[in-house]
Structure 1
């Protein structure tokens, strides 16, 4: 009997060694094929398999050995679960999924930064989190079944217990579901600039978590914002705007009032043909009134670019062209004036 057991375990060890050699060769070949292709999933799968395969084979063989010992000596394994092999396989599957997801997201973010993919980062991140929730929930049910517990009974008890737990963790639940709402509605995403005026928050979104959202402000300080805050606040996303507004007021001295309308006509002609000014949106120069020392000409137009740097460049070129028109007409802008009032007349003859 002992000889048969020794032969059986020797065969198991031999199969283990041969399997390890086969898996190593298979993973190397798979990685070479994955590196030669642009796809993300095959490369992520090969990387995860290369990391997990050796330890997985060893642990599965160990669990088979333990199951065999339990069948031979059941009196020593009364405390053990129903199947070491099933539990080991399920746990390894969970680790493999985590490795695969981490590799896939890392490769996707790298491609996104290089501009090699057009898929939105936030949508991919949302999808990965939702898939993870479903996968680990199903995996937990299978693990409970492997330990000999009825999943239906636990789900019933869990439903009753969840009502009591909900009151104790209502703030956590509010932030958690706030995160889900952000993922589903996508009012902003990673990389977007956001402004919450009520809380004086302004910065770039770095990460959207299940409980907190990380925002980096203009001074590069990290702000950790609870997700429930976004449900009760008005969030402005300047980075998602399609245009930027140019709105300037020019002051012309009263002595040039006679050429004001010809100035306005030339500026309007400039706006119609100026590069990067959207002709389909409001663009005009108009006389808007008089001040004590000058006349006001307002200029309004929308740029076709949302980038702040490009906007500043367009604005300065437009203003330079406008000043050239004013000089060409022989006019000039008003100079700053200072009005001084005295309570009583001053005698300068003293």
Structure 2
């Protein structure tokens, strides 16, 4: 005896569909619960492995699979109920089920792509994580492709002609292109960033053409978000990067120390011993990259100093550590200069007075009181000089 015939004898033909709907819903509930338990167990086992794909697959399938079971079960129950009812609601069950399957399948694929993105950039899953910018770009393209394809298939399920939609897109694309040329320029600018990769998320960039400097936080299809050094977000349209020069200091191999140091002209004879000592100090410094250019040379006769310059590179590219190394180098240069008995120069002026001119203190030699005005002192000195000149003239006349 089959289940329908047994139920028919138990409940009667008229009420048989109610029992069938109840059984279908019950089976759907049990199946959803079983899937939840089984997937939960498989996810825990997958977390103990280093395979990134099983984690992505199981985590992505956990929610969509349960919804898929409920979709199939409820649509089946609706079909059973539709056999005894002429309501228009039950006439669209098949269409709703097809659309639901497409949505759930698309949801699963998008979740799988998102989870795979995270795993590909996670060092716990792979010894050599992929570049974050590349992974995000590929992930966005795949998600867009899945969503657009799902949308076209859903339109086809509702009876719309996909070829007509595509034809409209081809004809209207020109008008849309003119109306949204800035949007398209930013889109293709973002695409060029992903392809050329002049910078990546986390890089420090700056532009000599524009007032742009900071750390890249996100590269979108329209905007790139940069965090400036005063912690403010800067949103730059991607089209901007197609026509400006861009510098990426994050990809430098070394940092440069370039300093000019001057000693006094009085210490000119000690320059020949200072320069080799500074060069030897730099060559033996543990943080200086001796494989790069290292120059210490007497450079110029400056207005108030004899200048020599230091040109070398540190091993580190870290900005904070670089300044600690530079400070250590400059302090050691000062120690070398002082050890040679020399001094660093600073702006001074020297006045040379001819031998026949003598300076004197008006207050001490003129007999003026300390509080007497400078003008009175000058007048008194002038009168004394006039008396001496007159005496000399009288003596010459008497002779």
TM-score calculated relative to the size of structure 1: 0.87
The corresponding residue for 1:153 is: 164
Q: Residue by residue, what CA displacement relative to the aligned partner does 1:40-69 show, whole Å, maximum 9, x if unpaired?
A: 443343333333343332233233444566
Whether the 8 Å contact between 2:52 and 2:116 is mirrored in structure 1 is yes
Whether the 8 Å contact between 2:113 and 2:139 is mirrored in structure 1 is yes
- Aligned: 1:16 with 2:28: yes
Match for residue 242 of structure 1 among 243, 253, 260: 253
CA distance in structure 1 between the partners assigned to 2:126 and 2:157 by the alignment: 45
Deviates more, 1:61-70 or 1:248-257: 61-70
The corresponding residue for 1:60 is: 72
TM-score calculated relative to the size of structure 2: 0.77
The corresponding residue for 1:294 is: 305
Q: Residue by residue, what CA displacement relative to the aligned partner does 1:256-301 show, whole Å, maximum 9, x if unpaired?
A: 1112122112222222232232222211101111112210000000
Whether the 8 Å contact between 1:122 and 1:183 is mirrored in structure 2 is yes
Deviates more, 1:15-24 or 1:51-60: 51-60
The corresponding residue for 2:63 is: 51
CA distance in structure 2 between the partners assigned to 1:234 and 1:303 by the alignment: 26
Sort the Cα spacing of 1:9 and 1:338 in 2 relative to 1 into closer, same or farther, 3 A: farther
Aligned residues: 344
Structure 1 residues 43-192: aligned runs within 5 Å: 43-66=55-78, 76=88, 80=92, 83-106=95-118, 111=122, 118-192=129-203
Q: Residue by residue, what CA displacement relative to the aligned partner does 1:156-184 show, whole Å, maximum 9, x if unpaired?
A: 22111111111111111111111111111
The corresponding residue for 2:43 is: 31
The corresponding residue for 1:193 is: 204
Secondary structure of residue in 2 paired with 1:83: helix
The corresponding residue for 2:213 is: 202
Sort the Cα spacing of 1:39 and 1:337 in 2 relative to 1 into closer, same or farther, 3 A: farther
Q: CA RMSD in A?
A: 3.0
Whether the 8 Å contact between 1:112 and 1:121 is mirrored in structure 2 is no
**Once the 2 structures are TM-superposed, how far is the Cα of residue 105 of structure 1 from its aligned partner?**
4.2
CA distance in structure 1 between the partners assigned to 2:350 and 2:80 by the alignment: 101
CA distance in structure 2 between the partners assigned to 1:11 and 1:304 by the alignment: 73
Secondary structure of residue in 1 paired with 2:311: strand
CA distance in structure 2 between the partners assigned to 1:78 and 1:307 by the alignment: 67
The corresponding residue for 1:259 is: 270
- For structure 1, the 5+ residue unaligned runs are 341-345
CA distance in structure 2 between the partners assigned to 1:152 and 1:258 by the alignment: 90
Sort the Cα spacing of 1:2 and 1:210 in 2 relative to 1 into closer, same or farther, 3 A: farther
- For structure 2, the 5+ residue unaligned runs are 1-12, 352-358, 363-377, 379-399
The corresponding residue for 2:369 is: none
| Structure with higher RCO (Cα < 8 A, 6+ apart) | 1
Sort the Cα spacing of 1:81 and 1:55 in 2 relative to 1 into closer, same or farther, 3 A: closer
